[in-house]
A and B are shown apart, each in its own frame.
Chain A
Amino acid sequence: MTTVTRDRAGKRLIVEREVRGSAPLVWACWTEADRLREWWGPHDWRTDVLELDLRVGGRWRYRLRPDREHDLIEEHWGTATYEIIDAPTLLRFLDASSSPDGSVTAGSEMPTNVRITPSESRSNGRHDHHRIPHRRRPGTGRSTGNGRGL
């Protein structure tokens, strides 16, 4: 089961999930295009990985699109930039919405940390624990951000 803790003061979500798999396998799920395709997008959506350069400063670009017939306007494009790569335990990237050419939508950046740790609650050592402090800045810090309508 997934536990989501809301850290309101820190403006972040902490997502924890115990999964079956060695740390290197779970790491591969987060860092290899063929594996990311299998789970990153929502149910009934397809994930296309357009670029994945697993180096600090390297980019991972992806497109999410509905399986069903859809309009181009419905597709979602994302660009993540790797900041920390410490296999197989810590991955940090700045995920963001972007246009198809990869230019990031200002204000949409979400720093994402992935920590893979051995599970404490299982004794066979085959389960890993996830912590994903997921910071989301609300708005862009624009001074009018709290104005009318919000």
Chain B
Amino acid sequence: MSTKISVKHSLNLLGNSIALPFKSPQILYPFGILAFIQVFLMEIIFFATRMPLVKIFGPIIERLRGPIFLHYPFNFDLLANIFQAFQPFVFIFISSIIIGKAVVIVVQLNEGKGVDQMPKLGLKTCVNLMVAFLMIYIIASGFVAGYDLLIRRAVRIRSTAGFYFLIKQAVLIGAPYFNLLFSIIITTLLAYLVPLIVLAKQNIFIALWTNFKMIGKSFFMLLIIIFISSLFYVPVLLIQSNQQWLGSFLSIEGWQIFKIFSVLLLLFIDAIQYTAITTCYLLTKEE
């Protein structure tokens, strides 16, 4: 498959991947479970500061964060912080398994098989998936930490006009977009890791090696698919970076609903990306 053809195909593949959840909603089931876990987590943290759960969680929150976070509206700050703190665990231990199952469902749907229940993954596969996601998390954290260093340096730029000022503004304002770009690059470079572990039953190290061997054949195709599908998240980033201004129009609860929406959107994007990645993997493997 030449790169030219791949690029041409990528838009078709992306279109099919977007349409698949609507044609075969079974692909969304694993992500539905993930959405349930995330929203349930939010609910528990939200009610942790209210009666009757505050009797259990109140003293812990008071000791760790201070008594003010038990009261409105600071409970929403607490919700955001604790939810964020849980995300690495959710990503490594839950998302890994759920995405693995989603990949199996995509294959079953491609083969024209019906999907009556969630596919089962062996313990070995689950462990390999968790290690793979831990690795992805470490790499992503490395990028974020590196960017933080850049931000610290940019903050020290004193210029209020000119080229250096532009650099400073680009680094500071562009932070969420650069992070999205890092995430696109990482997802593309390690795209076949999950299909290789789940479908080819390879262990993480072999899967990693095979991934890099295979990725060269369809890198641009994947990059375009993942880049375009990630653009759906840009409006969320735009809204988030204008939080202060929008805060005067939106109530605190409204903002929380927006956060839930952004989590669900992220899961939908994941569903599209892994549908496309799995299809791409099957095409590349056939070659």
Whether chain B is bound by chain A comes out as: no
Q: Hey, which bits of chain A sit against chain B, CB under 8 A?
A: none
